[in-house]
């Protein structure tokens, strides 16, 4: 992807993201007799493309997200309300993603594609990374209590409390020697014992989880899942719906998600274009932070500290006319994400990526250190 560097630190890298849904029926003949997905069935799919786009690709600067979404919709039109088998012999999520990537590149002139995602249900999907490797993922839930024994006195997480935890297991389908690679049923089989061990339990009483932060839980799961699932790519743990941690066997990352309601206008849109007029979005803003694990506290950064330190920036953009901010160059998602990254790093040095979505899956991702393998969360 495009990354501009200077003699000191790299400049932020930007990806544009667009998502579109489509309804389709399918059957997968390669599956064994009796498998539920071998028969005719259907899904409400969500397709996502993330791309590093050149400066002059869109009709005008700031129109990248809208143009990318328009081309994705046109790409998907032959699939919508159709039978996928008329287009693909084996319409698995992975094969659909590969078909979309090829069609976007060849028929719709979308350069710099870094990721294609297909979500076939609310809890499962496949992501193609920049190297073309397919990572299948499945979301699981468990209900549990925990307390963090090493937090400062008075910290709310030092009290026994509980969460409806969510875990996403990501596995590289291109590793291993399985006939059909990894399917969702296999992930279910691998996960089942962990559900029995964690659900309706006090996590502190489980060996290895005496300090059960999101980071510690993700590493605990990695260490136990990896021997059974060599293809494991990442483990994602949602402590709440708006925060959690990733672990890939080496690096921890956490994120905090916020929602803001703001008014914008695109100053560089041509006269008469609706994006030049004052309009607005309910944005989903996700802050990603990367740091070494604090061995005593068991976290990289306290979620509470993230919220507290970022709060003045959040208040400056929530329920505000963003076009009145003097040092915000324009109202497009990429400009806004870059502005948040700059302001955020001044108070949270661990902040290295900002996702800014105008609508579900459509917006911009700006990274301080470049974006290689893009962890989906």
pLDDT of residue 376: 55
Q: Do you know the residue count of the chain? A: 377
Spatial CB neighbours of 226, under 8 Å, sequence gap ≥ 6 = 232, 249
Reported confidence tier of residue 12, pLDDT bands at 50, 70, 90? confident
What integer pLDDT is reported at residue 372 of this predicted model? 56
- Which residues, in sequence order, are CB contacts of 70 under 8 Å at separation 6+? none
Torsion of CA 210, 216, 219, 223, to 10 degrees: 0
Q: Residue range 333-348: average pLDDT? A: 97
Domains and CATH numbers, the chain: 1-132 (3.30.479.10)
Nearest by Cα to 171 from 182, 157, 163, 160: 182
Region 14-33: what's the mean pLDDT? Answer: 95
C-alpha closest to that of 314 among 260, 241, 358: 260
Instruction: Say what the pTM is.
Output: 0.92
**In the predicted model, what is the mean pLDDT of residues 176-205?**
86
pLDDT digits (tens, 9 = 90+) for 231-249: 999 999 999 989 999 999 9
What is the model's pLDDT at position 335? Answer: 97
């Amino acid at each position: 992807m495009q990354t501009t560097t200077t003699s000191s630190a790299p400049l932020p890298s930007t990806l544009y993201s667009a998502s579109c849904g489509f309804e389709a029926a399918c059957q997968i003949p390669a599956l064994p007799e009796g498998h539920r997905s071998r028969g005719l069935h259907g899904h409400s799919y969500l397709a996502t493309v993330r791309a590093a786009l050149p400066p002059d690709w869109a009709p005008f600067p700031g129109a990248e997200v809208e143009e990318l979404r328009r081309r994705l919709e046109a790409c998907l039109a032959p699939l919508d309300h159709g039978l996928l088998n008329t287009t693909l012999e084996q319409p698995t999520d992975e094969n659909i993603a590969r078909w979309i990537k090829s069609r976007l590149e060849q028929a719709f002139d979308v350069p710099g594609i870094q990721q294609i995602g297909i979500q076939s249900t609310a809890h499962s999907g496949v992501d193609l990374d920049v190297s073309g490797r397919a990572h299948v993922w499945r979301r699981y839930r468990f209900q549990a209590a925990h307390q963090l024994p090493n937090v400062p006195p008075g910290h709310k997480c030092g009290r026994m409390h509980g969460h409806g935890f969510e875990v996403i297991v990501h596995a590289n389908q291109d590793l291993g020697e399985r006939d059909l690679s990894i399917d969702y049923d296999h992930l279910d089989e691998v996960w089942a014992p962990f559900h029995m061990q964690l659900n309706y339990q006090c996590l502190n009483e489980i060996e290895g989880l005496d300090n059960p932060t999101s980071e510690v839980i993700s590493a605990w799961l990695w260490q136990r899942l990896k021997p059974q699932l060599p293809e494991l790519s990442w483990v994602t743990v949602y402590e709440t719906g708006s925060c959690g941690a990733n672990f890939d066997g080496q690096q921890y990352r956490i994120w905090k998600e916020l929602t803001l309601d703001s008014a914008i206008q695109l100053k560089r849109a041509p006269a008469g274009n609706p994006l030049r007029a004052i309009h607005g979005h309910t944005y989903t803003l996700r802050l990603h932070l990367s740091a070494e694990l604090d061995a005593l506290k068991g976290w990289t950064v306290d979620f509470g500290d993230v919220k507290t330190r970022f709060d003045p920036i959040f208040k400056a953009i929530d329920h505000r006319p963003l076009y009145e901010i003097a040092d915000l160059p324009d109202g497009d998602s990429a400009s806004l994400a870059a502005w948040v990254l700059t302001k955020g790093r001044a108070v949270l040095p661990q902040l290295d990526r900002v996702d800014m979505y105008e609508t579900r899956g459509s917006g911009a991702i700006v990274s301080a250190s470049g974006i290689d393998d893009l962890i989906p969360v």
